[in-house]
Amino acid sequence: MLGPDLLRIRRAVHVDLRIPLDRIATVRRELRTIHQRADGELDILVGAQTTVTLELTESVAHFTFLGRRRDIHLVRFHADDADILVREIRTLTQARSGPLPMPDRPG
């Protein structure tokens, strides 16, 4: 679920991850079918694949089904329409950061 300030990624009772949009550094559509476990990374597979990759500026806390905390800085997950989701996340994150200021003219 994508809101104005938050992306919430859920998978049954196993995953309920809330990511503030201001922590998203990059988002891209990336079809992956091979996933190797790594510290700080969370792969939320559907049909053994993911379609969206998020890189975060700061870690977010993820609590496993048994309550163990993991600090996550990279998230891969499946979205039915990954292109639209990536575009919407980019629009929201760019709107939050605002336009870049114009540089001063020399002189």
- pLDDT category at 97 given cuts 50, 70, 90 is low
Strand order through the sheet with 69-77: 24-32, 50-63, 69-77, 41-44
Higher pLDDT, 101 or 74: 74
CB environment 39-58: b (16+ within 10 A), e (fewer)? eeebbbeeeeebbbbbebee
DSSP, collapsed to helix, strand or coil, labels residue 95 as helix
Q: Is the pTM of this model over 0.85?
A: no
pLDDT in tens, 73-96: 999 999 999 999 999 999 998 876
